[in-house]
Amino acid sequence: MSQSVNPFESARTQMKAAYEYLAPKYDHEFTLALSPERIIEVSIPVVMDDGSTRMFTGYRSQHNGARGPYKGGIRYHQDVNKDEVMALSTWMSIKCATLDLPLGGGKGGIIVNPKELSERELEELSRGYVRKLYKYLGPTQDVPAPDVNTNGKIMAWMVDEYSKLVGSWTPGTFTGKPVSIGGSLGRDTATAQGGVYVLTSYLESKNENIAGKKVMIQGAGNAWLVMAHLLKEAGATIVGVSDSHGAIYDTSGIDITAIETLKAAKKSVQDHISGTHYTNAEFLELPCDILIPAALENQITVENANKIQAKLLLELANGPVTPDADTILFSRSIPVIPDILANAGGVTVSYFEQVQNGMNYFWSREEVQEKLKLKMNQALKWVLASSASHNVMLRTGAYIVAMERILEAMKTRATE
Ligand code: GLU
């Protein structure tokens, strides 16, 4: 697994590949869209439990706001850096436009390993991030949400801090909140649920279905466990799972409930008694029908793309396949359902959450899921039609759809 691929360069390469099909109509707007509109870097002081003061670095990248407020999560990870945040914000602009959500793209991050912080320190850090950035946030400006290592509890601290600073309860500034303070039903499972809707419809378009498929999931956060349960319910066999420590593989199927119990006890999947153990790198190259990378970027690169044995990839993580690996997989006729479609269920229900906050009227879980299914299936149709008509991979097909919408909005607003 190569760490040398700069994710922001990957995002730009993906945009350039799609713009070939839109040029020269939006040349001016395209040049602008290659860079985030604004990147804010802040230092956040936290008084630690031992009385010392530590400084943390945080970012918010606002990539494109032509179609609406910037939208995207905040990541807590020791490897967060400016280029990663810029890439993730670019992918959010493309993702929101692929789904035709009236939103732009943004992303934030703090360089921290949250596992090393106490609950009080984590709360201080989260509130400190908002104190440094609140002037740039708001329901019509920029709406953060959870991402890697952040969750509803952190959103609750953040929306509380924000509302105190601006002097009014403003739930629509953050999404992915707990339901008790204006979160949406179905947001907690939305990323995985959206992925299952897309996968089901994609397979249907090939006269196939999920039942009987052997699936491997490279996991880290919460989405992959939900995904594993949903796929199992749909009749798939989960033959492999991994976390940051390693992987297990068992062609007769893995007991997901047992894995969930292990993870709840802060143990690794490798503590599971059945199955063969592999490293994360070996794991990705094992045979299966569907491989679901649901961890971090740059997992499938030039170094392993030729060795992938999966027949189909569904990107639940952001940016797990690099552009060079994409080309190899495309030439090997291994389709990749790209992140900007496959994991868009999360931001789609975030959008629903914001809509409900605006109305102060809330939908049932069933209503949310029905609306999510419609959105995901519609977006898949656009992407399939675009990639078929241009004879390009699904990712480029999606980028063409999304970029035409973004660039047209920029042109209409005469963005400078
Ligand atoms: N962090 C998620 C993503 O990468 C969700 C973003 C959101 O809900 O705004 O799509």
In the reported structure, the alpha carbon of residue 51 is separated from the centroid of ligand 1 by a whole-number distance in angstroms of 34
C-alpha distances out from residue 293 to 63, 283, 341, 376, Å: 25, 11, 14, 19
* Within-domain flag for 383: no
Choice among 25, 71, 95, 107 that is catalytic = 107
Ligand 1 atom at shortest distance from the alpha carbon of 88:
4
Q: Tell whether the model's pLDDT for residue 182 goes beyond 80.
A: yes
pLDDT tens digits, one per residue of 35-50: 999 999 999 999 999 9
For residue range 375-405, list pLDDT tens digits in order: 999 999 999 999 999 999 999 999 999 999 9
DSSP 3-state helix, strand, coil percentages of the chain (rounded to 5)? 50, 20, 35
Q: What is the pLDDT of residues 95-113, one digit of tens each?
A: 999 999 999 999 999 999 9
Q: Is the pLDDT of residue 237 over 60?
A: yes
Domain boundary residue among 133, 157, 181?
181
Ligand 1 atom with minimal separation from the 148 CA: 1
Q: What residue's CA is closest to ligand 1, atom 8?
A: 347
pLDDT tens digits, residue range 129-170? 999 999 999 999 999 999 999 999 999 999 999 999 999 999
Q: Which atom of ligand 1 is nearest to the CA of 318?
A: 4
Ligand 1 centroid to residue 245 C-alpha, Å = 25
- Can you tell me which residue has the tokens 């660039």? 407
Residue 339 Cα, ligand 1 centroid: separation in angstroms? 11
Q: Where are the alpha helices (DSSP H) in 102-182?
A: 119-133, 152-166
Q: Choose which residue among 174, 350, 352, 375 to substitute to test ligand 1 binding: the one with the highest number of ligand atoms within 8 A of its C-beta.
A: 350
- Report the pLDDT value the prediction gives residue 2, as an integer from 0 to 100: 47
pLDDT at 3: 52
Examine residue 118 and state whether it is found in any structural domain, yes or no: yes
For ligand 1, mutation pick of 92, 297, 354 (most atoms within 8 Å of CB): 92
Mean pLDDT of the chain: 96
Nearest atom (ligand 1) to Cα of 72 = 9
* pLDDT of 273 strictly over 80: no
289-295 average pLDDT score: 96
The CATH number of the domain holding residue 275 is 3.40.50.720
What DSSP element (H or E) covers 15?
A: helix 7-19
Q: Which residues line ligand 1 (CB under 6 A)?
A: 71-73, 145, 147, 175-176, 318, 343, 346-347, 350
Q: Do residues 231 and 92 both lie within one domain?
A: no
Amino acid (1-letter code) at residue 201: S
Pick 374 or 271 by higher pLDDT: 374
Pairwise CA distance, residues 101 & 69, whole Å: 10
311 catalytic per annotation:
no
In a domain, 257, yes or no: yes
- Sign of CA pseudo-dihedral 107, 110, 115, 119: negative
Same domain for 177 and 194?
A: no
Same domain, 168 and 275: no
| Residues 185-205 pLDDT 10s | 999 999 999 999 999 999 999
Q: Is the pTM of this model over 0.75?
A: yes
Q: Which amino acid is at 359?
A: M
pLDDT digits (tens, 9 = 90+) for 293-343: 999 999 999 999 999 999 999 999 999 999 999 999 999 999 999 999 999
Q: Which residues of 111-128 are buried (b: 16+ CB within 10 A; e: fewer)?
A: bbebeebeeebbbbbbbb
- 200 and 336 in a single domain? The answer is yes
CATH code for the domain of 173: 3.40.50.10860
For residues 359-366, average pLDDT: 98
Q: Are residues 97 and 224 in the same domain?
A: no
Which residues have CB under 8 Å from 232's CB, separation 6+? 238, 256
Pair 211, 255 in one domain: yes
Number of domains, the chain: 2
Position 1 confidence tier, pLDDT thresholds 50, 70, 90: very low
Any idea which of 56-70, 84-98, 211-225 has the lowest mean pLDDT?
211-225
- Which of 181, 209, 232 is the endpoint of a domain? 181
Does residue 272 surpass a pLDDT of 90?
no
- Determine the structural domain holding residue 131 and report its residue range: 36-181
> Ligand 1 centroid to 253 CA: how many Å?
30
